[in-house]
Structure 1
Amino acid sequence: MQKSLVMALIVLFCSLPAMAREVAGIHMEDEVTQEDGTVLLLNGVGVRSKFFFKIYAAGLYLESKSSTTEEILAQDEGKRVVMHFLYSEVGRDDLVEAWNAGFTANGTAEQLASLAGEIATFNQLFDTVKEGDRIILDYRPGTGTSVTIRDEVKGVVAGKPFNDLLLSIWLGKEPVAEDLRAGLLGS
Structure 2
Amino acid sequence: MIHDPWRRPARRAFAGARAIGQGLLGVALIALVALAFLPGANAAEAATPITLEDQTFPADARVAGTPLQLNGVGLRAAFIYKVYVAGLYLPTHAATGPEVLAESGPKRLQVRLLMDGPSDEFAKAFTGGIARRTPAGQVAAMGDRIAAFDRTLRSVGNVRKGDIVNLDYAPAVGLTMTVNGKPFGAPVPGADLYAALLGIFVGDQPVDARMKAGMLGLAS
Is the contact made by 2:47 and 2:69 (CA closer than 8 Å) also made in structure 1?
no
Tell me how far 1:93 sits from its aligned partner. 1.9
**2: CA distance between counterparts of 1:49 and 1:56?**
7
- Checking the alignment, whether the CA contact within 8 Å between 1:142 and 1:159 is kept in structure 2 is no
Residue 57 (structure 1) aligned with residue 88 (structure 2):
no
CA drift of 1:111 comes to: 1.0
The 5 Å alignment of 1:106-125 reads: 106-125=133-152
SS in 2 for 1:56: strand
Aligned counterparts, 1:130-169, within 5 A: 130-154=160-184, 155-169=186-200
Aligned residues: 173
Give aligned-pair identity as a percent.
33
Is 1:38–1:78's contact at 8 Å kept on the other side of the alignment?
Answer: yes
Q: Which amino acid aligns with 2:152?
A: L
- What is the one-letter code of the residue matched to 1:117? D
| 2:95 corresponds to 1:70 | no
Q: 1:53/1:120 Cα in 2 relative to 1: closer, same or farther (>3 Å)?
A: same
Contact 1:143 1:158 in 2 (8 A): yes
Give the SS at the match of 1:43: strand
- The structural deviation recorded for 1:75 is 1.6
Q: Separation in 2 of the partners of 1:158 and 1:116? A: 12
Show the counterpart of 1:185.
Answer: 216
| Residue segments in structure 2 that go unaligned for 5+ positions in a row | 1-37, 39-44
Partner Cα distance (2:172, 2:61) in 1: 19
CA positional deviation for 1:110: 0.8
Please give the secondary structure, in 2, of the residue aligned with 1:33. strand
What's 2:51 paired with? Answer: 22
User: Which residue of the partner structure matches residue 20 of structure 2?
Assistant: none
Following TM superposition, the consecutive aligned residue runs of length 4 or more in structure 1 with deviations greater than 6 angstroms are: none
What is the DSSP-based 3-state SS (H/G/I as helix, E as strand, rest coil) of the residue aligned with 2:131?
helix
- Point out the structure with the larger strand share: 1
Give the CA RMSD over aligned residues: 1.9
Q: Are the counterparts in 2 of residues 83 and 136 from structure 1 also a CA contact under 8 Å?
A: yes
Contact 1:44 1:59 in 2 (8 A): yes
Matched residues in 1 for 2:76 and 2:175: separation?
21
Counterpart amino acid of 1:121? A
Aligned partners of 2:111 and 2:166 also within 8 Å: yes
Q: Aligned-pair distance for 1:156?
A: 1.2
The residue matched to 1:76 in structure 2 has which SS?
Answer: coil
Per-residue CA shift, 1:119-167, capped at 9, x if unaligned? 1000111222110111101111121111111211113110101111111
Q: Which of 91, 96, 111 lines up with 1:83 in the alignment?
A: 111
Residue 42 of structure 1: how far off its partner (Å) = 0.3
Rg larger for: 2
Task: Report if the CA contact (8 A) 1:105-1:174 is conserved.
Answer: no
d(CA) in 2 for partners of 1:93, 1:18: 34
Equivalent residues of 1:102, 1:175 under 8 A apart: no
Is 1:171–2:193 an aligned residue pair? no
